[in-house]
Structure 1
């Protein structure tokens, strides 16, 4: 199935960091993919790919770049040109020829600027001990500003007069929060003009053109448990992580996608927020994730099918699992229930979409929840397929492309 010609949506079922990038890299390695389409998030993504002796943490470039697969940053992406230039330089040092030539960016994508980044960090700093766990890269400020204002987009980078006006308005809006530390809008406009000249800015027809050449892989960012409407509010991202946007784009092409959910054999969380199965005593080495200046500590916990089944419901179902970190689960158990203030529960269900009151209720419930744990077998693949009622289609016992193996492990009916 995964090696056929069906379009694939890759989505993280947890709090992120489960192995989406490595999964996308593997899907692209057989040269059947015409483009990797990013359908949410921004420069805060950190998708680690290890292949052919190279390691890169993909942020805005698609994780098929090592295989020469073009990236399409859709209108749902928040594009940060300065970080994008730095990432291009890093990829060039790793031997990728002319990385910017692989980029195709929707003109409708919102622009994340240093103003958004400064405002994000100022707001998170002001929260003190009540931090939300932001990456501090301006994603939330970019999305929030666009709700009520004419926000700058990638296409605006080609119009210096319009862009200057929009950036001036942005600076005035954020002045009470960050002061006047950015007094050179002119320099920023010049930089963005160079960016616009260096990349392909495309319209809504680009997706169909790529689809006509081969299958597409839609690469999600963050995890469903951080989704702006389904995550544990307020410790969430300003982005729709579950695959509704990717599904809508594919539906416009007349296709049904294969949705591949990614999870580790244990759970992780980067930064603040409830984490019922967290266990600091778990001795699980982490090669590529560390404490973040704004996110906070990288946390680990036991496998949690209760949260993961909730994520699958939030995705309106998935077709298969990419199960990673099979080499790193000594001492890991699985939650079979929670002990909560409302009694014992072994299931969570989605409330009405866009109902943040319900999401806050879940956050409150899970903050004090204690897991009832049972042992996992040495090879938990079949057990996890059964617990999540979903077949396992791909496994990984290490960080590199060579460690990934396609399998067919049926999941028990739900």
Structure 2
């Protein structure tokens, strides 16, 4: 409901407490607000990970603006093309021909053909019942040397079934072909970020002589194709799980889903599951946990009772992070999220019992546009949205978990929190930059 400027806005529907929150949807799905925080990756950023490829979008010009700007902002315009669909194309019922001929024209004008084309069709193709099988069949016949990857920019599907992000993370591995599995090698699939070399999974694997393959680390098409040669596929970023499972089944590989988390027992379980799958010795987590305790204690000594806010864009497990910090004496006041992952059910229940007053605040609920941001005390924010909503100049600048994982990730987070507490950042300038971690020219 619209209110006059100057009238106070209550927080009902936009802010609640863990005690009163409904699981898994604490906030109703209604009119949405988009904050000027753009560090999370979109489909353009993700698709650019595929080496020696080109993205081609077939869309109306009003929707094209965002993806064109994304490609330009990440200095990748030389790997991006588009085909504009106009009104007459819809009225004449020739969307298939427009798509085929437009893409053909783009490719023929290139100085060199790419190894793969990520062809993004859009909502219009769904609305008009476009024969996409014909589109891809004809393009593959015209350009047999190019791999065409079926991608979608269809936000109408954002909240029903698989999201465009999930479908893209699956499609990007479709060109992988069957190979004889190589022993002593593991492929990590579905994430935008390669894990830190010291993160638990790569460190454990390399200690036992295993090669670790990840798409974000691939520089050539041949390196990318070698992802299918590993004997085991592992995914750890939730939106990438579906694609990794599909590819493992298609290529006859075992798949493990080992999501990044903050619980000592869960991390130990994941790492021992990896060890069991490879017939390796189980890990001894005592020293790892002790090192985490020291790191958290040291961070708490410095940060003290400073209020902390966390957001879901920083990590897929914001409630698990809140639980870890609260159980170690940190004062977590607010978690910014719009829904709660089923993976966080146990953490939600723990917080309901041990921190019932913890605030949950929406990020897209329309009231968040006008509710006051910030407060009397400076907040230590973990994540860009938490920083923007709290007007904090002390925040951990990272999205989607970055390369953090496991016990090592907890220790590095404690260090990042301490650094953020000590140093001020220009929040307003940083959070508007699209695609944290990309080569961005903003």
TM-score, with length taken from structure 1: 0.29
Structure showing the higher helix proportion among its residues:
2
| TM-score, length basis structure 2 | 0.28
Between the two structures, name the one with larger relative contact order (CA 8 Å, sep ≥ 6). 2
Give 1 or 2: higher strand fraction: 1
- Bigger radius of gyration: 2
